[in-house]
Structure 1
Amino acid sequence: MAQSVSHFLSKLPVMIIAFLVLTNGCGTLGCNYTSIISFGDSIADTGNSLYSKSGGGAELNLPYGETYFHRPTGRFSNGRLIIDFIAESLGLPLVPPYLGGGDFKHGVNFAVGGATALKASSDNSLDVQLGWFQKLLPSLCNSSSDCNEFFRRSLFLVGEIGGNDYNYPFFQGISVEVIQALVPKVINTISSAITTLITHGAATLVVPGNLPIGCSVEYLAIFKSQNKDDYDPQSGCLNWLNEFSQYHNSLLQKELDRLQTLYPNTTIVYADYYNASMLFYSSPAQYGFSGSTNKACCGGGNFESNQICGSQKCGSPGASVCSDPSSYVSWDGIHLTEAAYRWMAMSIVQGPYIVPPRINMSCVPLSKKVSDYSLTQDVNRVFLLWQSSPSSLTNSMSRPLEVPLETRSWIG
């Protein structure tokens, strides 16, 4: 991790300059996107769980969706997701779920809650989602040249995916050594999917890494330790679980570098969900989160009392819900609140957590209703910190979180 952080720091001044340039005007690529095509799990699912053969779970009930949509939409949060904010930033409609049918000329979402990268691990794996994409192709474009033009102006989001490949065995008590052996297989599956999309004409692909699972309320409750040294002193996250997430992300970035070399005419960028989320896990109050990061807004998830979220699952009868979800990071102990997703989206869309920073996904400034803090102020703060003490920034960025999942009906 130290090497990847040092590599990031070495590029930070350039990335901040890119951020300032991109947010002062519309980049050519950014303003020309006419559709979003998405794959993944519950972090990106905009409603496929409503129509999936495996059926939905508690996310089909209020208070899911209460904040923005005022009704359940199949999203695993109280409101919008990262993909929704990306669509808004591009001036596009929210991306509709593939299984819901309809007009997909401005985008389509194949992501399903509970999905995995590996084929044998879920009913709606990445391979299944690619099959849906190929089935839909004739309705999106009619000829090779037509498809090339359509996909040239489409933004492909490949993930986040892979988290559930690890969540399922972790929650079954399988050892970290056994689960770690799955990581290269997961990365190879993601790489194969990216290659397939490129052969179909994808020109710009954004591939998110995994969130650090050591900060998830669910993981914190299940793997609670009496040894204080197991926890990061600043964020309170479990170090060994975050190191696992970092291992996945490190292999993913290396594979994306290889693919970029192999396909130089395609833009492949890594979206750093890990460090984007660590901003508010390390300093929650600075980002407007007054609620404990160790507690979920909805349901029984409470790290301090060692309650498991499923005992009072959000969306089930009698489950409690906080009065102000925007003050919490965790929504249901597994997934994040709209407020947290907005901050992550801003750090991806407007910088600096997209590597390399060569595309602009921001044509319409994202609303900052969550708080009065602006990302520009935060980037300036990071730049000043880097100038005065690079080691301090390294320490603040090498910390952990994740968005796990519990039973298959609630996993994302």
Structure 2
Amino acid sequence: MIFFLSLPLLPLSVHSQCTRNPIIFNFGDSNSDTGGYVDGLGLSFVPPNGRTYFHQPAGRLSDGRLMIDFLCESLDTGYLTPYLNSLGPNFTNGANFAIIGSATLPRYVPFSLHVQVSQFLRFRSRSPALMLSGYKDLVGDADFENALYTIDIGQNDLAESFGSLNYSQVIDKIPSFITEIKYAIWNIYQKGGKNFWVHNTGPLGCLPQKLASFARNASQLDEHGCLLPLNDAAKAFNAQLRVLCEQLNSQLINATIVYVDIYSIKYDLIANASNYGFEHPLMACCGNGGAPYNYDANITCGRTGYTVCHEGSKFISWDGVHYTEAANAVFASKILSSNYTTPRVNFNFFCTKM
């Protein structure tokens, strides 16, 4: 028990092995958006978002830090600046292209994975020239080649598909999602990228939002109360993503594509919540409606009528869709253990190559 309860502190105690400034370029959705949505739309989140660590809304849908924030801390580098931040941005350690609500398809709808990669390619082509012209807070050619490219996307593709399609139809769409991820990695690789860190998608059927919104019966729930059809679809997506990563590892010369089993990490925390010090694995800390899920689509976190728990550290879900800082800390600790990566390498492994 002592070991489990100390897990959230581990990302802060990992010592970086980097011999030079680590560079990370991140692509994804709300699981790793550090402010791109807010910068791009000119909006502001409201309290209680950000209350735990930043003590104010910080462009993240959480009470505090995200997994990507903890991973950056493990490399002793600053949090990633959103690409769309135009107010004094600092891109010396990379950039974050992730945007809340993003998916792989449709391709040209902002901010799909295709659009995010297109933004990166423009950033890639202009940065070295701008540096030669005297601009600071950017990265040079060698930095792009040695950078780590992290991808965490797919949850919204599955979630949106279930809104209008049955299970079989959703499964039939998965190859098209995987193809977009393949194109993204390939396009970055063609511009010199060779270090890729690819997260699979989490247990969609365990999100309080889905549990509160989908009609269900007992036969559709697993032993931990999660929706089987949604989780089975996530597993199908992940199986195909793993095959893609294995194929690209053999096809892309001098490249390393690491597949990270985020699904197992998140599901383990939900299934064994009490072992990690959590008390409410399927209930949102911030929302409306009370037990069992505290989620109401009309009164979400921050809207008039919401309620918020006193101890976010006891909750896994922050708002029914996104995770608390306490949960994100556990996820990052598990990632840093290298027990959930294929090939089995630590996140800090890339420091020796940066």
Report matched runs for 1:330-369 at 5 Å.
Answer: 330-361=317-348
Report matched runs for 1:253-264 at 5 Å.
Answer: 253-264=242-253
8 Å contact kept, 2:200–2:238: yes
The residue that corresponds to 1:123 in the other structure is 110
The residue that corresponds to 1:196 in the other structure is 187
Distance 1:24 1:123, change over 3 A: closer
Secondary structure of the 2:301 match is: coil
Secondary structure of the 2:298 match is: helix
8 Å contact kept, 2:195–2:350: no
8 Å contact kept, 2:336–2:347: yes
**Are residues 1:97 and 2:82 paired?**
yes
8 Å contact kept, 2:29–2:102: yes
Secondary structure of the 1:269 match is: strand
**How many Å apart are 1:354 and its aligned residue?**
1.6
The residue that corresponds to 1:318 in the other structure is 305
Give the residue type in structure 2 aligned to 1:272.
D
**How many Å apart are 1:141 and its aligned residue?**
2.5
What are the ranges of 5 or more consecutive residues in structure 2 without an aligned counterpart? 1-12, 131-138
8 Å contact kept, 1:348–1:354: yes
The residue that corresponds to 1:404 in the other structure is none
Give the residue type in structure 2 aligned to 1:79.
G
Note the alpha carbon deviations across 1:172-199, whole angstroms, 9 max, x for none: 3431222222210000000000001111
8 Å contact kept, 1:26–1:363: no
**Are residues 1:39 and 2:39 paired?**
no
8 Å contact kept, 1:117–1:162: yes
Distance 1:80 1:50, change over 3 A: same
8 Å contact kept, 1:61–1:315: yes
**Are residues 1:156 and 2:146 paired?**
no
2: distance between equivalents of 1:120 and 1:198?
19
Identity %: 32
Say which is worse superposed, 322-331 or 147-156, in terms of deviation.
Answer: 147-156
The match for 2:227 among 218, 235, 238 is 238
Give the residue type in structure 2 aligned to 1:179.
V
Give the residue type in structure 2 aligned to 1:129.
Q
Distance 1:333 1:25, change over 3 A: closer
Give TM-score, length-normalised by structure 1: 0.74
The residue that corresponds to 1:18 in the other structure is none
- Greater relative CO (CA pairs within 8 A, separation 6+): 1
Say which is worse superposed, 115-124 or 343-352, in terms of deviation.
Answer: 115-124
8 Å contact kept, 1:66–1:79: yes
The residue that corresponds to 2:274 in the other structure is 285
Say which is worse superposed, 308-317 or 265-274, in terms of deviation.
Answer: 308-317
**How many Å apart are 1:257 and its aligned residue?**
0.7
Give the residue type in structure 1 aligned to 2:197.
V
Secondary structure of the 1:253 match is: helix
**How many Å apart are 1:203 and its aligned residue?**
1.9
Give the residue type in structure 2 aligned to 1:216.
L
Distance 1:121 1:139, change over 3 A: closer
Give the residue type in structure 2 aligned to 1:325.
G
**Are residues 1:48 and 2:36 paired?**
yes
2: distance between equivalents of 1:254 and 1:98?
30
The match for 1:66 among 27, 40, 51 is 51
Distance 1:303 1:212, change over 3 A: farther
Give the residue type in structure 2 aligned to 1:331.
W
What are the ranges of 5 or more consecutive residues in structure 1 without an aligned counterpart? 1-22, 365-412
Secondary structure of the 2:316 match is: coil
Give the residue type in structure 1 aligned to 2:25.
I
Number of aligned residue pairs: give it. Answer: 329
Report matched runs for 1:107-186 at 5 Å.
Answer: 107-120=94-107, 122-142=109-129, 149-158=142-151, 160-170=152-162, 172-186=163-177
1: distance between equivalents of 2:301 and 2:271?
25
What do you get for the CA RMSD once the two structures are aligned? 2.4
